[in-house]
């Protein structure tokens, strides 16, 4: 009996946070990819405290929160390198390979929820399919005066899907704090054993993840001469713990700080820091306006 009462109480908190007067009991949110990130790290079962931060990626997608029936909520998002155009990634996580013609390797992670449950701690346990897509291209570099950059060969695309569960911390209370402001912050995480997801370790570590820069502003130089190196960009970098601070000025060819080679580890962790904004177009459509 106690567990049922607790579930009802938590559902009431969730409903209070997720439902705004103009939105009834269902709210569709879009991830603000400029302020939503996925932090990738490695750890060891033998020593869980010995973690190694691999990199930070951007996140885009859509979240549908149904306060009247939490089980009807849905999460669909894509974790991708910060220098990649999200338009080149299909909704199912597959790549438009032609758009990746000038990269040697790239990794994209897609998540589609299947089951959403409210836990006894007020968290949301979101179970679904995590699809990993890793692209590799062989390339050659010719050392001569006519060198114009690497020449890339035909791509090899590897894809795998496994079921995982993201836990969204205190989602109900976070939604309650958001109120009618139209902006919601959610934190979530998942730990995946590499033996349960073949190819995940290699796809995550075989990348020099580009720096994520928020509020990025790029300006072209007034005069373009022989020493032109692209646009000059400023912004706020999202830093990796225990790493040297990245430069606040980045150019088009900036690939982020060099990574120290990781020791052998058997867990991959993904920590999400998501900023959601209400999808007003979906609200207008639902209301018939």
187 lies in the same domain as 226: no
Compare 215 and 73 and report the one with higher pLDDT.
73
Q: Are residues 53 and 192 in the same domain?
A: yes
* pLDDT at residue 147, rounded to an integer: 62
pLDDT at residue 281, as a whole number: 66
Q: Which domain holds residue 215?
A: 211-254
Long-range contacts of 144-151 (CB under 8 A, 24+ apart): 150/104
- Least confident range from 88-92, 122-126, 258-262: namely 258-262
Q: Is residue 171 part of a domain?
A: yes
Q: Residue 12 — pLDDT band, cuts 50, 70, 90?
A: low
What residues are paired with 135 via a beta bridge? 106, 157
**By C-alpha distance, which of 199, 201, 209 is closest to 264?**
201
Mean pLDDT check: name the lowest of 125-134, 215-224, 264-273: 215-224
Question: Quick one: 110 and 240 in the same domain?
Answer: no
Residue 49's closest CA among 58, 41, 37?
Answer: 41
Residue 264: predicted pLDDT:
56
Number of domains into which the chain is organized: 2
What pLDDT is recorded for position 88? Answer: 81
* 28 and 132 co-located in one domain: yes
Rounded distance between C-alpha atoms, residue 88 and residue 83, angstroms: 12
Check whether residue 96 and residue 106 sit in a common domain. Answer: yes
Characterize 21-34 residue by residue with b for buried, 16 or more Cβ atoms within 10 angstroms of its Cβ, and e for exposed. eebeebbbbbbebe
Q: Tell me the average pLDDT of the chain.
A: 76
Helix, strand, coil percent content, the chain, rounded in steps of 5: 20, 40, 40
- CB of 9 closer than 8 Å to CB of 30: no
Residue carrying structure tokens 């999400």: 272
Q: What is the pLDDT of residue 187?
A: 94
pLDDT digits (tens, 9 = 90+) for 221-264: 766 666 666 666 666 767 676 544 444 444 555 455 444 444 55
What b/e string do you get for 114-123 counting C-beta neighbours within 10 Å, with b at 16 or more? eebebeeebb
pLDDT (tens digit per residue) in 156-213: 888 999 999 999 998 777 766 666 667 889 999 999 999 999 999 999 998 888 888 7
Strands 249-251 and 37-43, bridge-based pairing: unpaired
Q: Is residue 289 part of a domain?
A: no
pLDDT at 211: 83
Confidence of residue 136 (pLDDT cuts 50, 70, 90): confident
Question: Tokens standing for 124?
Answer: 């949301």
User: Would residue 288 count as lying in a domain?
Assistant: no
Mean pLDDT, residues 135-161 taken together: 74
Residues 76, 196, single domain; the answer is: yes
**65 & 202 share domain:** yes
Return the pLDDT at 161: 94
pLDDT band with cut points at 50, 70 and 90 for residue 265:
confident
Residue 42 inside a domain? The answer is yes
Query: Which among 13-22, 63-72, 101-110, 189-198 has the top mean pLDDT?
Result: 189-198
Percent of the chain clearing pLDDT 70 (strictly above): 62
């Amino acid at each position: 009996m106690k567990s049922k009462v607790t579930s009802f109480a938590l559902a009431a908190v969730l409903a209070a946070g997720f439902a705004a007067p103009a939105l009834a009991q269902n709210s569709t949110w879009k991830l603000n990819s400029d302020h939503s990130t996925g932090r990738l790290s490695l750890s060891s079962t033998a020593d869980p405290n010995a973690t190694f931060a691999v990199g930070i990626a951007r996140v885009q997608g859509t979240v549908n929160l149904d306060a009247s029936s939490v089980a009807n909520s849905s999460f669909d998002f894509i974790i991708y390198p910060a220098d990649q155009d999200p338009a080149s990634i299909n909704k199912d996580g597959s790549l438009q390979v032609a758009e990746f013609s000038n990269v040697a390797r790239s990794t994209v992670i897609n998540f589609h929820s299947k089951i959403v449950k409210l836990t006894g701690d007020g968290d949301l346990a979101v179970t679904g399919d995590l699809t990993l897509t890793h692209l590799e291209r062989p390339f050659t570099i010719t050392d001569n005066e006519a060198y114009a950059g690497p020449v890339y060969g035909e791509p090899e695309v590897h894809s795998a899907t496994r079921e995982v569960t993201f836990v969204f911390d205190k989602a109900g209370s976070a939604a309650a704090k958001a109120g009618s402001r139209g902006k919601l912050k959610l934190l979530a995480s998942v730990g995946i054993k590499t033996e349960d997801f073949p190819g995940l370790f290699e796809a995550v570590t075989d990348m020099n993840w580009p720096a994520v820069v928020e509020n990025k502003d790029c300006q072209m130089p007034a005069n373009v001469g022989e020493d032109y190196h692209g646009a000059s960009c400023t912004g706020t970098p999202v830093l990796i713990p225990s790493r040297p601070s990245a430069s606040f000025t980045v150019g088009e060819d900036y690939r982020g700080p060099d990574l120290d080679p990781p020791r052998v580890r058997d867990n991959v962790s993904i920590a999400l820091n998501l900023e959601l904004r209400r999808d007003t177009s979906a609200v207008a459509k639902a209301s018939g306006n």
